[in-house]
Amino acid sequence: MKNLLEEFNEGIEAEVQTKKTVVDNTRESSGYVPLFEYAFEKLKAGIILANKDIEAIEGAEIEFIDKERYHSDIALKIPRLMKEYGIPKYTQEIIPQIVKNIEASPLFEKEIEKVEVAGIYINLLLSSSYFSEFIKDVISLGDKFGLSDTHKGESIVIDYSSPNMAKHLHAGHVRSTLIGEVLSKIYEANGYTVHRLNYLNDWGGMGAIMEAHVRLSANGALPKVADENDLLYQIYLLTRKAEKVASTHTAEKIFEESKTELVALVGDFSDFKEYKNKYAEFVEAGKARFRSLESGNKDEFELWQKMRGWSLSEFNKFYEILNIKHDYLLGESFYAKKGADFVNDKLKTGEVVKFTQELADIEVKKVQLAFEANTIKKTVLEKLLEEIQADIGAYVIMLPSGARMVIMRADGATIYATRDLVSAKHRLETFLPSRLVYEVGQEQAEHFKHLFEAVLVLNLNKGATVDLKHLSHGFYVDAETGQKLSSREGAQNVISLIEESVKYFRNKYEERSVGERAQTFTEEEKEKNAKLLAIGSIAFNDIKQDKRFPIPFHKELDKNIRSFEESGGAYIMYAIARARSILKKSDRKVEDIDIATIDFSSLELIEINLIKKVADLPKIIVKSGETDNPAILAEYLLHLANEYSSYYENFDVLHAGSLIYPHRLLISSAVATAMANGLKLCHAEPPERI
């Protein structure tokens, strides 16, 4: 007969399977945009076909270039042949043949007007009529422009946010949540089926917290706090304080100051020695309560489930304000029994071994030899010897790199690493992903290095090629001191920042509602748009920077709001609004214009650059996904917005609402679509008007 915990986890497994079907079906029903159907990709394919007699032509780099600087639109080179043959032979033999092939192909004159050699490059000048093809792509695809089928048929599991039960979300969770969501959108844009997963740390340490809650409640000593998750957090802090006091004699001051609450936790004591004994009893009681929870005891399970709900209630408020929706919520608890069973199975096969004194002696000899060979310093030696001693009796996986991964303590208790390993196994078996991505803080780099090595050495991927990736991020830091923000400070400041940012942008709408150039907005429109601008500015500020580096955070929220607004997200939204205002004022609509009748022969240089930059969006999205770097997309959008703003200021499209330059209306429409589509992938949806 199954216990309550097993029944609970069976229900979660059923939910996972149901949701997986929904995610898979939604991905298929949303459709794909074949990359090869974009005009630029067709052009590249034509160039490659014309040079099918050239070795390694498929690896040619074909990219847009600055026309003002190079007097051409596209540059071509083949790095492999340059390396293989050397520059002299490449330029004297390969390049002339490519030029000859292009000039003899159907591309010449129709798509390509001129071919020139510039050192190791072949520069191509596009025919003016071909620029209409780039515009047609945007018009025909609309809000799907930029998407591709690059990874159609592949799935990716991305783990991000991962909060801790009985604690508050901290700044690292904020970054992980925003970066993980943006990466998910970019992966989807490239054709992946994306499974968004939130891994809740809801198991380790809960025995002590539950025992503390029961004791404090019985003694009428529960902390007075505003919400229930904060109650759990205060209990957690008290258990940590009790542990610190018991583990060191240097904590006498804390001991004296905290006697009352320590008595409520462990019972009466007369001196420090008796306190340590009482604390040891508390620890054992916590372990017993946790074992009871593991066995599915009704009272323990219901208390744990209630506490889990308290934490999730707080976390969900945060996700709601940021408009973040994960597909799956899977906790450590889901893998608890699976972890123990897994270790026992691997003990039988010898893939997991007990770390005996004999094995420890071998490891000691290895690190001592490394020290004698001057490959490690004394401080490292001491740390490694300490770890070896601590691991004796534990159950480990000996990794090919020479490291060992502890997956079960000497007392038979599974640990975080056990559940991480089993969760990786579950994800690989359930989703059959081509990529398994963890967006987690940089401090866990070594853990994931060992985890991935263990996955491969145990063949949990069943021989399949799976890209296992830990994507780390830097912290939010105090702008003045450079110090990492505390857990409480980081999350609360960001939540307050969102709320204050909404007020800030709302006030801007109020200001625009009065005066000679007053605009009319409904109250609902003001509130909705203010929230879009606030969240978009914060998200864009986060992802436009290299995610490995920290983000400064000011104590004064108004400074953060201004700096986030100036970081570019709102600027891009304003550029989109400008373009859309032209489209709205025009007496002719884009869909009413026959693009075949438009003359593109007299395009201004800035118009050529804008059209080419718009046409580059699919490639930029692919590159952002392949490198797991949203900053590439953010930088592209900033450049496009900047160039369009200059265009908007200097080139007329309408006269008194009448369209006088149809090609400029088409360009404005294409730019607005490209910026809006790209910005949505950055979790920054632009308002219809600002």
Does 67 fall in a domain? yes
Is the predicted pLDDT of residue 407 greater than 80, yes or no? yes
Q: What is the tens place of the pLDDT at every residue in 257-287?
A: 788 889 999 999 888 889 999 999 999 999 9
Does 20 fall in a domain? no
Does 339 fall in a domain? no
Cα distance between residue 507 and residue 527, in whole Å: 10
Is the domain of 111 the same as that of 218? no
Nearest CA-CA partner of 430 in 214, 640, 193: 193
Is the domain of 500 the same as that of 649? yes
Number of domains in the chain: 3
Cα distance between residue 46 and residue 33, in whole Å: 19
Is the predicted pLDDT of residue 476 greater than 80, yes or no? no
Could you tell me if 662 and 588 are in contact, meaning their C-beta atoms sit under 8 angstroms apart? yes
Q: How many CA atoms lie within 13 A of 367 on its CB side?
A: 20
Does 165 fall in a domain? no
- What is residue 521's predicted lDDT score, i.e. its pLDDT? 85
Is the domain of 531 the same as that of 668? yes
User: From the CB of residue 448, how many other CB atoms can be counted at a distance below 10 Å?
Assistant: 18
Is the domain of 73 the same as that of 211? no
Tokens 């003016």 sit at which residue? 128
Cα distance between residue 273 and residue 423, in whole Å: 42
Is the domain of 249 the same as that of 115? no
Is the predicted pLDDT of residue 490 greater than 80, yes or no? no
- What is residue 516's predicted lDDT score, i.e. its pLDDT? 66
Domain boundary among 103, 126, 149: 126
Mean pLDDT of the residues in the chain: 92
> Which CATH number characterizes residue 39's domain?
3.30.1360.70
Tokens 């699976």 sit at which residue? 338
% residues pLDDT > 90 (the chain): 77
- What is residue 249's predicted lDDT score, i.e. its pLDDT? 61
Is the predicted pLDDT of residue 494 greater than 70, yes or no? no
- What is residue 173's predicted lDDT score, i.e. its pLDDT? 79
- What is residue 307's predicted lDDT score, i.e. its pLDDT? 97
Does 525 fall in a domain? yes
Is the domain of 212 the same as that of 99? no
Element spanning 63, H or E: strand 61-64
User: From the CB of residue 437, how many other CB atoms can be counted at a distance below 10 Å?
Assistant: 23
Collect all residues with Cβ–Cβ distance below 8 Å to 461 and sequence separation of at least 6. Answer: 428, 455
Domain boundary among 287, 322, 357: 322
Is the domain of 223 the same as that of 96? no
- What is residue 248's predicted lDDT score, i.e. its pLDDT? 74
Is the predicted pLDDT of residue 303 greater than 90, yes or no? yes
Q: What is the tens place of the pLDDT at every residue in 24-35?
A: 999 999 999 999
- What is residue 169's predicted lDDT score, i.e. its pLDDT? 82
Is the domain of 97 the same as that of 246? no
Is the predicted pLDDT of residue 489 greater than 60, yes or no? no
% residues pLDDT > 70 (the chain): 97
Weakest-pLDDT range from 12-16, 90-94, 513-517: 513-517
Is the domain of 495 the same as that of 628? yes
Could you tell me if 252 and 235 are in contact, meaning their C-beta atoms sit under 8 angstroms apart? no
Show the tokens assigned to 459. Answer: 């063949």
Q: What is the tens place of the pLDDT at every residue in 570-592?
A: 999 999 999 999 999 999 999 99
Is the predicted pLDDT of residue 631 greater than 70, yes or no? yes
Does 293 fall in a domain? yes
Q: How many CA atoms lie within 13 A of 116 on its CB side?
A: 13
> Which CATH number characterizes residue 591's domain?
1.10.730.10
Weakest-pLDDT range from 78-87, 221-230, 621-630: 221-230
Domain boundary among 91, 126, 161: 126
Q: How far apart are the first and last CA of the chain?
A: 61
Does 602 fall in a domain? yes
Show the tokens assigned to 306. Answer: 């209630």
pTM: 0.94
Is the domain of 532 the same as that of 669? yes
Query: What integer is the mean pLDDT of 647-669?
Result: 96
Collect all residues with Cβ–Cβ distance below 8 Å to 102 and sequence separation of at least 6. Answer: 47, 50, 51, 108, 112, 115, 122, 124
Q: What is the tens place of the pLDDT at every residue in 427-472?
A: 999 999 999 999 998 889 999 999 999 999 999 999 999 999 999 9
Q: What is the tens place of the pLDDT at every residue in 363-397?
A: 999 999 999 999 999 999 999 999 999 999 999 99
- What is residue 478's predicted lDDT score, i.e. its pLDDT? 80
Could you tell me if 254 and 241 are in contact, meaning their C-beta atoms sit under 8 angstroms apart? yes
Could you tell me if 677 and 145 are in contact, meaning their C-beta atoms sit under 8 angstroms apart? yes
Cα distance between residue 660 and residue 653, in whole Å: 6
Is the predicted pLDDT of residue 552 greater than 90, yes or no? no
| HEC profile of 293-346 | HHCCCHHHHHHHHHHHHHHHHHHHHHHHHHCCCCCEEEEHHHHHHHHHHHHHHH
SS3 at position 78: coil
Does 24 fall in a domain? no
- What is residue 555's predicted lDDT score, i.e. its pLDDT? 73
Pairing of the two strands 121-126 and 74-77:
antiparallel
Is the domain of 505 the same as that of 647? yes
Q: Which domain holds residue 539?
A: 487-681
Could you tell me if 322 and 182 are in contact, meaning their C-beta atoms sit under 8 angstroms apart? no
Cα distance between residue 194 and residue 251, in whole Å: 49
- What is residue 256's predicted lDDT score, i.e. its pLDDT? 73
- What is residue 517's predicted lDDT score, i.e. its pLDDT? 67
Q: What is the tens place of the pLDDT at every residue in 133-151?
A: 999 999 999 999 999 999 9
Is the domain of 651 the same as that of 512? yes
